[in-house]
Structure 1
Amino acid sequence: MNIATNPAHSSDGYQSARLLIDGIWLENGDRKTQPLINPATEKAIGVVPHATAQDLDRALEAASRAFPLWRATSPRERGRILKRAAQLMHDRQEEIARLATLEMGKPIAEARLETHFATEEMEWFAEEGRRTYGRVIPGRIGETRFQVVKEPVGPTAGFSAWNFPVGNAARKMGSALAAGCTMIYKPGEEAPASAAAVAQCLLDAGVPAGVIAVVYGVPDFISRHLLASPIIRKISFTGSVAVGQHLIRLASETLKRTTMELGGHAPVLVFDDADQTAALDMSVQRKYRNGGQVCVSPTRFYVQDKSYDAFCAGFAERASKIKLGDGLDPATGMGPLVHGRRRDAIEALVQDATSKGAKLLAGGHRVYNEGFFYAPTVLADVPSDARIMSEEPFGPVAVLNRFSDFDDAVTKANELPYGLAAYAFSNSHKTIAKLSDALEAGMVGINSFNISMPETPFGGVKASGHGSEVGIEGVDAYMVTKTVSIT
């Protein structure tokens, strides 16, 4: 079935999102709605319905009813369904990517890459779900033996931000379904149809009614309602530290399991012995990917003294050449920010830093009269009391400062409470070995920003959360361990 037949879409363009509950895309009816804004034009392209308490209760009942059926479905058959969903995502890549660009502004090339990576993750979950093995342990008394088995935790809830609407949806729903769980998924209201497109692929692949639901609305209302229910056994969240803390408190009231992938403020250490050109090329590309609206985006660049001035000049030169525009234009290198609030927040952080003495080397201003565009920005010699040194900007701003030696670099990299990702560039094997141990982050990239594959765990430490998504750990997060003693 072509994606255009999904009630959230039409053959001639974007239409309003719909709620998915118990296998049915619901008409909006008299539900409260909010406009869906194209960030490149500031024009409304649809509406987003808000789920009511009755909608959420219906989704909970369906998830509970469908769980025994989905749990009893063999891992082999679940894997076949998820692989079919991955193939459908591949076949519909262009349509899904276009939705992501329309909704949150990223360049179409980045949206295609996101969809491709989400497809690969769905394939991984399809395969790894068949390997949720237990083990047998010999007993110590008589003929007793122990079996350790893995079982799906039960109905789950997933909450994600808007910045990777296709990837987040595939990651949350794919891992839960691979483990044998059902999921009620709430994506960011800024990009609802992208998540709906992934859900449609799952439905078309054969996922039974009730196994997945997609709902939108006021985040606090939805999270409180779902987490208060004894039906939900686990939650997985991708988003800010403040919201993650709030959800942990709600989950603690009913002792629900949690996986938290929270914010980051990733440091990048560039040593004098590094390949400076390669470090610059990679750093600028990754800094402004998705407009800097990436939880693992490199942000705090610390460059060793001898290389610092040249690195600053090279960074500013490269950033100034990035072409801003509508993400549907193939020539666009960076699209708009997702909404006006994000642009305002970035502007305030830059103004605060420059007022305290930071040097503005590039950008630092709004672009165009239409759309939420903000120029790729480079700040140097940023004082420690500037807000941007401790607050994650989540936007197109690079912060550059210098360091003297290894200990100084590591101290600066680790001084914040965040610990999602960290990066470093050096050609010294000794330095690389020491950095691998010293950097406090769940993911570390050395001479590379490629820190994630479907096979590797994705998660942070300290205030950046706990638990992992993707990889073996991503499926195991939805399993509980049972010990059975047999004599």
Structure 2
Amino acid sequence: METRCLVDGKWVGEAHSPVTNPATGEVIANVPLLGETEAKGALDAAAEAFADWKRQPVKLRSGVLRAWFDFIVEHRDELAALLTAEQGKPIAEARGEIDYAASYIEYYAEEAKRILGEILPPPREGTRAMVLRQPIGVVALITPWNFPAAMITRKVAPALASGCTVVLKPAPETPLTALALAALAQRAGVPDGVLNVITGDARAIGEAFVTHPDVRLIGFTGSTPVGKYLMGRAAESMKRVALELGGNAPFIVFEDADLDAAVAGAMASKFRNMGQTCVCANRIYVHQSVADDFTARLAKAVEALKIGHGGDEGVTQGPLINAAALEKVQSHIADALAHGAELVTGGHRHALGGTFFEPTVLKGASAKMRVAREETFGPLAPVFSFADEAEVLAAANASETGLAAYVFTTDMARTYRMLENLEYGMVGINTGILSSEMAPFGGVKQSGNAREGSHHGITEFTELKYGLIGGLDV
């Protein structure tokens, strides 16, 4: 399978950079290895297309997005199979991701009609004042490999809905889903140059993004160090940055919690996508009075997971994305065991070989272990115990990041205390799944500075303009 990049409505580039299936190591496609020159060309095309796209009636932009949504729904199964082949997640999860990705396009097709300005009270006689909300311009987007469809549509849909044009660089591990989505967008009527997708040298393309004079916003989902680098470079020309960075999510189970619900929430949060999500439970804090009971129930649920190739029906855990991901999980387990943790279940490479790893539960975790400070990004559930609310709140907030947190309790007063005092951009109470196209997704502290989804997400791609009209005889 040979695949090219989409630039100014044309499919370009020599496809010779391999994309592999993480479950088998098989090369499933080749994509172009573009560089700074080609990236600048794509940005030039987006800048030229912006002049016309921003002037299009919102009803037209809305209709194009709606047609894109319809094509994605029509090709859901093919897209899911492609996603699983390049990313490894189970096919059921892949189908769910395609549905989730499509939901953002549908939402912003509707939200395009609601980008509203303001009429202000006249500041003096003979004047009228107003505020316009206009598209910011060309946006350069960089997306990760763990959600190859949803991380794209969550950014691209509001950008296009607002009247911006886009150059997208998907992750090198998972470019095929991005290119397939772009082909469907083109079929839906997205004009030439409005959506461009390029693959290749990350540093060279990133350099083009931060230096091109027409780029007004850089959107990035990925690691905090890379986000900081982009933010620093973007500051040189005062580009706006919208960053969704790493997490270290606490998952807190109080003594009054429904333990069956808490275990189900932990499974949904921790082991979705083999633990390779930025909002997955990374530190599981359980009240000391129920810690043993909870841990035993969690281990039983983990042992029931089915590990295998993501394309096989019934599989719930696929491979990790690459060898580096596997090594990080192993190093976190070894460090925890060296500092006194106990292995409850799992803890080893799976018999399937490659990057398959046994879902793992540890007990007796403590603050001195790496799992307390670092995001594992893998199928490792370390269980910490705590004595009271003040202790666990302090432990949960002892992180440089603040993306997502989870709390299980039946005490409503405690629910409000935790919701208000946890230093996280998103808090789930008695649920392990947070994301929705209708809700603002994003974090605080070093987890980023932007929100995606909801009506807040589209404002990232707009500028406010104040207008005062004088000389009016009204």
TM tier, shorter chain?
over 0.9
Offset at 1:329? 0.4
Distance change >3 Å, CA 455–CA 85, structure 1 → 2:
same
Q: Report Cα offsets for 1:157-195 as digits up to 9, x if no partner.
A: 001110000111111211110110001001111111101
TM-score, normalization by structure 2? 0.97
Map 1:2-17 → 2, pairs under 5 A: 15-17=1-3
Map 1:277-316 → 2, pairs under 5 A: 277-316=260-299
Q: Report Cα offsets for 1:22-47 as digits up to 9, x if no partner.
A: 11111416xxx432111111122122
In the other structure, the counterpart of 2:226 is 243
In the other structure, the counterpart of 1:142 is 125
Q: Does 1:326 align with 2:306?
A: no
In the other structure, the counterpart of 1:423 is 406
Q: Distance in 1 between the 2:260 and 2:235 partners?
A: 48
In the other structure, the counterpart of 2:175 is 192
Which of 13, 20, 25 is the equivalent residue of 2:11?
25
Offset at 1:142? 0.9
SS of the counterpart of 2:433? coil
Residue range with higher mean Cα deviation, 292-301 or 49-58: 49-58
Offset at 1:218? 2.4
Q: Distance in 2 between the 1:34 and 1:346 partners?
A: 28
SS of the counterpart of 2:262? helix
Q: Distance in 1 between the 2:179 and 2:336 partners?
A: 40
Q: Report Cα offsets for 1:270-296 as digits up to 9, x if no partner.
A: 001010111112211321110000010
Contact 2:268 2:433 (C-alpha < 8 Å) held by counterparts: no
SS of the counterpart of 1:254? coil
In the other structure, the counterpart of 2:84 is 101
Q: Distance in 1 between the 2:2 and 2:397 partners?
A: 44
Q: Does 1:268 align with 2:268?
A: no
Q: Report Cα offsets for 1:88-127 as digits up to 9, x if no partner.
A: 0000000000111000100000000000011111000111
Which of 424, 432, 449 is the equivalent residue of 2:415?
432
Residue range with higher mean Cα deviation, 63-72 or 449-458: 449-458
Offset at 1:200? 1.3
Distance change >3 Å, CA 369–CA 268, structure 1 → 2:
closer
SS of the counterpart of 1:237? strand
Contact 1:42 1:372 (C-alpha < 8 Å) held by counterparts: no
Q: Distance in 2 between the 1:131 and 1:17 partners?
A: 37
Offset at 1:370? 3.9
Q: Does 1:361 align with 2:344?
A: yes
In the other structure, the counterpart of 1:483 is 466
In the other structure, the counterpart of 2:156 is 173
SS of the counterpart of 2:196? strand
Q: Distance in 2 between the 1:53 and 1:437 partners?
A: 45
In the other structure, the counterpart of 1:11 is none
Q: Distance in 1 between the 2:37 and 2:401 partners?
A: 38
TM-score, normalization by structure 1? 0.95
Q: Distance in 2 between the 1:462 and 1:409 partners?
A: 19
Return the letter of the residue paired with 1:179.
Answer: S
In the other structure, the counterpart of 2:427 is 444
Aligned residues: 470
Q: Distance in 2 between the 1:341 and 1:16 partners?
A: 27
Map 1:444-483 → 2, pairs under 5 A: 444-483=427-466
Q: Structure 1: which 5+ residue stretches go unaligned?
A: 1-14
Q: Does 1:233 align with 2:216?
A: yes
Q: Does 1:58 align with 2:41?
A: yes
Offset at 1:18? 1.7
Contact 2:283 2:371 (C-alpha < 8 Å) held by counterparts: no
Which of 104, 113, 125 is the equivalent residue of 2:108?
125
Map 1:150-165 → 2, pairs under 5 A: 150-165=133-148
Contact 1:268 1:422 (C-alpha < 8 Å) held by counterparts: yes
Q: Distance in 2 between the 1:194 and 1:370 partners?
A: 26
Contact 2:246 2:278 (C-alpha < 8 Å) held by counterparts: yes
Q: Distance in 1 between the 2:253 and 2:358 partners?
A: 24
SS of the counterpart of 2:149? helix
- Percent of aligned positions with the same letter in both sequences? 38
SS of the counterpart of 1:165? coil
Return the letter of the residue paired with 1:204.
Answer: R
Return the letter of the residue paired with 2:3.
Answer: A
Offset at 1:227? 1.1
Offset at 1:306? 0.7
Q: Distance in 1 between the 2:301 and 2:21 partners?
A: 28
Which of 384, 387, 406 is the equivalent residue of 1:404?
387
Which of 339, 351, 354 is the equivalent residue of 1:371?
354
Q: Distance in 1 between the 2:144 and 2:195 partners?
A: 18
Q: Distance in 2 between the 1:392 and 1:424 partners?
A: 19
> Which runs of at least 4 in structure 1 moved beyond 2 Å after TM superposition?
368-371
SS of the counterpart of 2:11? strand
Q: Structure 2: which 5+ residue stretches go unaligned?
A: none
SS of the counterpart of 2:446? helix
Q: Report Cα offsets for 1:59-111 as digits up to 9, x if no partner.
A: 01100110011101111100000000000000000000011100010000000
